[in-house]
């Protein structure tokens, strides 16, 4: 049998949709002006930029002038969190976040801690849901920001964002959320969910890498952390990545149009995978919440097995998967997210993340279900942990 080439790592990055590539190409070869230039080339670029801004805004129920384009999700998180922290440092130095944030948020918070800010890392339940009561109790007079992700990139849990937004609003504290993984999979509504700042990136929703957005509610003030020509309201100076932004806009437009249908499709694949794996492999478990999770995320652990070996063996068999998140997979520490669920070290080491896209098929899931039990069995044969059990 020819080795398949199946991509189940869509939380790490996604295929750029052919329609997106097509929309981008003219902005490299024909409409390549600088959006700040006065001439026709510049005007064309500027027009494309503003049309794309409206499409990104529409995906999250924001106004176009509440969107700035950035160089990706990490950059948006930094601009938002440091921007609020530095702007309000005379008011207070306390920031609340969760213990399962993406490194783009977590490491930004750690950096601020080194500068004298004080952080509270709110705990999550064993299913990975942020404890909103603990969150509210941790609010202080000098709290200047709450930042909690919209949904988790490793275990896919969807956070009670609306409730957190209400708590933040009641206390008059700005609320930032990293919605990179939610975009295109579940509904995001910055108004209904009381969100003041929101991070997006194009490459997780079938757009190009290296372009993202930050939603900033009207009236929210940030101190710039990037200085230069004053692009994007002075918050992200640098000549705009017009082609990238056009691709991002197109990706948002497609995501918004087919949101429900795509989510249903991915949810079917997810359920097929979860039910199949748990039924066919003994001592296999699902990490995260059974239902309050992204439609495209399944995250398993298998007693006695290292996630890394599993990922490598699956790759040999033609399946791209991951252990934990792509960003932490080159470290040997167990995932901070799985540890926050209360798992033991050896349990947290044995995780496998399988994340689907609208391009995956049931046949691919079935092939995976035929392949995985054999690989788990092989690895367990040579596992001291499994044999000593």
Ligand X SMILES: *Cc1c(COP(=O)(O)O)cnc(C)c1O
Residue found under tokens 């306390």: 94
Does residue 157 belong to the site contacting ligand X (CB under 6 A)? Answer: no
The least CB distance from residue 130 to ligand X, in Å, is 14
Q: How far is the CB of 212 from ligand X (least distance, A)?
A: 5
Binding to ligand X in span 159-218, by CB under 6 A = 178, 180-181, 201, 203-204, 212
Q: Which stretch binds ligand X (CB under 6 A): 66-74, 107-115, 159-167, 365-373?
A: 66-74
- Name the token pair of 9: 């790592």
How many Å apart are CA 56 and CA 253, to the nearest integer?
A: 7
Is residue 235 near ligand X by the rule CB under 6 A? Answer: no
Q: Which residues contact 45 (CB under 8 A, 6 or more apart)?
A: 27, 31, 32, 33, 34, 35, 37, 240, 242
> Which is closer to ligand X, CB of 200 or CB of 216?
200
Residue nearer to ligand X on the CB measure, 73 or 295: 73
Binds ligand X (CB under 6 A): choice among 46, 55, 82, 102: 102
Q: Is 109 a catalytic residue?
A: no
Strand order in the sheet with 297-302: 284-286, 297-302, 351-355
Q: Which of residues 135-154 bind ligand X (CB under 6 A)?
A: 149, 153
> Buried b vs exposed e over 306-335: b needs ≥16 C-beta within 10 Å?
bbbbbbebbeebbbbbbbbbebbbeeeebb
Least distance (Å) between residue 150 CB and ligand X: 8
Nearer to ligand X, 226 or 283 (CB): 226
Calculate the CA 19 to chain-centre distance: 22
Compute the 3-state secondary structure of the chain and give helix, strand, coil in percent, each to the nearest 5.
40, 15, 45
* 104 makes contact with ligand X (CB under 6 A): yes
Catalytic residue among 21, 111, 327, 369: 327
User: Which stretches within 186-258 are classed as H helix?
Assistant: 242-257
Residues found in the chain = 389
Which residue lies nearer to ligand X by CB, 80 or 281?
Answer: 80
Helix axes 362-381 and 307-316, enclosed angle (nearest 10): 120
Q: Which is nearer to ligand X, 203 or 301 (CB)?
A: 203
Give the residues lining the site for ligand X (CB under 6 A). Answer: 72-74, 102, 104, 149, 153, 178, 180-181, 201, 203-204, 212
Q: Which residues are known to be catalytic?
A: 327
């Amino acid at each position: 049998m020819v080795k398949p080439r199946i991509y189940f790592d869509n939380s790490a990055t996604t295929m750029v949709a052919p329609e997106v590539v097509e929309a981008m190409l003219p902005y490299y070869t024909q409409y390549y002006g600088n959006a700040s230039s006065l001439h026709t080339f510049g005007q064309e670029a500027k027009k494309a930029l503003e049309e794309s801004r409206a499409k990104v805004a529409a995906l999250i129920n924001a106004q176009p002038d509440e969107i700035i384009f950035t160089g990706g999700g990490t950059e948006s998180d930094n601009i938002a969190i440091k921007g609020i922290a530095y702007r309000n440092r005379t008011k207070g130095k306390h920031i609340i976040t969760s213990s399962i944030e993406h490194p783009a948020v977590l490491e930004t918070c750690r950096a601020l801690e080194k500068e004298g800010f004080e952080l509270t890392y709110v705990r999550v339940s064993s299913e990975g849901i942020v404890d909103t009561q603990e969150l509210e109790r941790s609010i202080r007079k000098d709290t200047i920001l709450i930042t909690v992700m919209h949904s988790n990139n490793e275990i896919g849990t969807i956070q009670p964002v609306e409730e957190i937004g209400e708590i933040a609003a009641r206390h008059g504290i700005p609320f930032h959320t990293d919605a990179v993984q939610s975009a295109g999979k579940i509904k995001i509504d910055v108004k209904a969910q009381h969100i003041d700042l929101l991070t997006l990136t194009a490459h997780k929703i079938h757009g190009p890498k290296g372009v993202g957005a930050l939603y900033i509610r009207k009236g929210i003030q940030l101190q710039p952390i990037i200085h230069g020509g004053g692009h994007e309201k002075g918050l992200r100076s640098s000549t705009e990545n017009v082609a990238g932004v056009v691709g991002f806009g197109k990706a948002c437009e497609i995501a918004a149009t087919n949101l429900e249908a795509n989510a249903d499709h991915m949810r079917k694949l997810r359920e097929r995978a979860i039910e199949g794996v748990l039924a066919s492999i003994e001592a296999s478990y699902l990490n995260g919440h059974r239902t309050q999770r992204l439609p495209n995320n399944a995250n398993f652990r298998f007693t006695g097995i290292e996630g890394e070996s599993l990922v490598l063996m699956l790759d040999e068999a033609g399946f791209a998967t991951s252990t934990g998140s792509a960003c932490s997979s080159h470290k040997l520490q167990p995932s901070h997210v799985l540890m926050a669920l209360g798992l033991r070290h050896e349990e947290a080491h044995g995780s496998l993340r399988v994340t689907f896209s609208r391009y995956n098929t049931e046949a691919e899931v079935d092939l995976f279900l035929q392949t995985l039990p054999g690989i788990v069995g092989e690895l367990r044969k040579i596992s001291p942990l499994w044999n000593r059990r």
